[in-house]
Amino acid sequence: MRRLAAIGECMIELRHRDAALLELGFAGDSLNTALYLARLNRPDRLAVDYVTALGDDPYSAAMLEAWRAEGIGTGSVAQLPGKLPGLYLIRTGPDGERRFFYYRSAAAARALFAGAAGESMLAALPGYDVLYLTAITLSILAPPARERLLAALAAAREAGRLVVFDSNYRPAGWPDRAAAQAAIAPFLDLVGLALPTFEDERALWGDAAPRDTVARYAGRGIEICVKAGAEGCYLGDGTQVPVPARIAPRDTTAAGDAFNAAYLTARLAGAAPADAALAGHRLAGVVIQYPGAIIPRAAMPSPAW
């Protein structure tokens, strides 16, 4: 059995059902991927834990209950007295694209890896076989906590663990692009598999085309799959893997997170990158047909691995 730790933040999600009615949910990029990984894998093959910090409020308790029901391990979740999760609202346009509005400056996850509890969590990370994080994970951490995480991931890499990274660059989470580049660059030295979206890479690093992104990551010896929307994705050998069928999206929330879960599941099972990319497209194609980040369990496609 392999063990995977997804590191990041889950927030309270309020999604517009109409102009005045909101629907409550819980989501966050790394949590979305963790949940889809848990659904795609038997726990005796891949055990998925979520590493984060929550409060001691009813919403945090509901999150923990929901994660356990999905088979996600919560032993590495710190519960901080008096703190609350972050919150965001989604407005979705007629084309399925969405806008996010965040209220998270005092969220519990911003204190992740602080204090004795944080040190214990960091010490446990090199014991996992796979560690998954995104640039959003990095953006919520204070610089000292970021440095402590970098050291823990370096120890994990030294022990032969796989570090998986999705840049998922959101400018609103950083003081400016230069600050994001400076924070993210050291982590790239530890990444074994990268699953970025081209739009994010273009905004963050100025790449002109997906193959520029491929070349930059592959030049570091990183396995790379660049998601490029309707174009499909691009692999480290330059291969373009198209989307098998064009589907008009209802809501694109978490499509990339779901793609990452299916791609990683397939690769860990020994599938070739092109086949893993097709698995990613397949799950993402289902996710975009439903509102919100998490689709009903009954709608999950049967895993190919």
pLDDT in tens, 243-279: 998 788 888 889 999 999 999 999 999 999 999 999 9
Tokens 């969405």 locate to 98
Distance separating alpha carbons of residues 209 and 243, to the nearest angstrom: 18
- pLDDT value of position 304: 62
Whether 212 is a known active-site residue: answer no
Question: If you average pLDDT over every residue of the chain, what do you get?
Answer: 94
Q: Which residues are 298's β-sheet partners?
A: none
Contact of 130 with 162, CB cutoff 8 Å? yes
| pTM (predicted TM-score) | 0.94
Architecture of domain 2-11+28-80+106-298: 3-Layer(aba) Sandwich (3.40)
Distance separating alpha carbons of residues 163 and 27, to the nearest angstrom: 22
Distance separating alpha carbons of residues 282 and 299, to the nearest angstrom: 12
Give the range among 38-47, 74-83, 91-100, 254-263 with minimum mean pLDDT. Answer: 91-100
Going from the C-alpha of 296 to that of each of 23, 100, 189, 291, the distances in angstroms are 15, 22, 37, 10
Contact of 260 with 195, CB cutoff 8 Å? yes
Q: Which of 44, 56, 257, 275 is catalytic?
A: 257
Distance separating alpha carbons of residues 101 and 11, to the nearest angstrom: 12
